[in-house]
Structure 1
Amino acid sequence: MDTTRIDKWCWAARFFKTRSQATEAVERGRIRLNGERTKPAHNVKAGDRLDVDNGATEWEVLVTGIADKRGSAAIAATLYQETEESIARRAAQAERHRLFREPSAEIKGRPTKRDRRLLDRSSS
């Protein structure tokens, strides 16, 4: 097998939890093949460059292997190689999140009266 659908590949490489999420991302233009928008049925082959945005993280990867079935994370990691620029961008983003935390990030669900007071105290 030397090609497979782009949505199947993104799901098999574990960029998305479900294949329908991968298909929707391709349709919305969040996955670009060699810099161009594409359709979910478009084939991907080794050597292609993909820009993947799953909502939480953005990757720029080179396809090194083809799979149309989802396997273990160790196998999925062998299907692509992340570019140096992408690694640097993700590290900078992680550092930014570490330094500048959202005040409500630690609160799960709706804030209690005590949580609200702590938020008001920290913002002023």
Structure 2
Amino acid sequence: MFKPYLDSKVRLDKWLWAARFFKTRNLAKQAIEGGKVHCDGQRVKAAKEISVGITLSIRQDLDEKVVVVKMLSDQRRGSPEAVLLYEETEESKALREKRAAERKAGMGSFIASDHKPDKRERRHIHRFQRINLFPED
């Protein structure tokens, strides 16, 4: 079992890595710099020292989690121990489940073609994409 820090502070990128939100510290740092992690509603830097009780908003792929820091650690351990470092808010859980259900329901709306597009159809597809990407042309 790891020793959680109760009084001290830990760098945000180390904590995100230790809490298993990201596989490497470098990925955690890139997410922070890319604006995918907010601390108490504001963008932060990777070197920000966090403390217990801070609210973090973490966006990964299509999901966004809002967690409250319960314990601090800079050591990466197993998943059962990492879950003890934070607590996800009830609103965040409900919103994630709702969005997952919406995505799952929307998957049936995709219509697959029974053939590969020919030259004429590809031209139409490219023209449609060009018009939608660059409407002023």
Alignment TM-score > 0.5, same fold: yes
CA distance in 2 between partners of 1:38 and 1:65 (Å): 19
Which residue is 1:38 aligned to? 44
What stretches of structure 2 of length at least 5 have no aligned partner? 118-137
**SS of equivalent residue, structure 1 residue 21:** helix
* Deviation beyond 4 Å, 4+ runs, structure 1: none
Show the counterpart of 1:50: 56
Aligned pairs, number: 110
2:28 matched residue in structure 1: 22
Q: Distance in 2 between matches of 1:62 and 1:101?
A: 32
Aligned residue type for 1:52: I
Residue ranges of structure 1 left out of the alignment (5+ in a row): 105-114
Cα gap change, 1:74 to 1:116, in 2 (>3 Å): same
Q: d(CA) in 2 for partners of 1:44 and 1:76? A: 16
What SS does the corresponding residue of 1:100 show, helix, strand or coil?
A: helix
Aligned match of 2:106: 100
Is residue 3 of structure 1 aligned with residue 4 of structure 2?
no
Over residues 6-34 of structure 1, what are the superposed CA-to-partner deviations in whole Å (9 max), with x where a residue is unaligned?
A: 01111111111111110011111110111
Superposed displacement of residue 119, structure 1: 9.7
Counterpart of 1:117? Answer: 114
Q: Which has the larger radius of gyration?
A: 2
TM-score by length of 2: 0.73
In the aligned structure 1, how far is the partner of 2:60 from the partner of 2:24?
12
Does the residue aligned with 1:78 lie in a helix, a strand or coil?
A: helix
Supply the RMSD in Å over aligned alpha carbons: 2.1
- What is the TM-score with the length of structure 1 in the denominator? 0.80
Aligned to 1:68: 74
Percent identity among equivalent residues? Answer: 35
Q: Closer, same or farther in 2 for the Cα pair 1:79/1:119, shift >3 Å?
A: farther
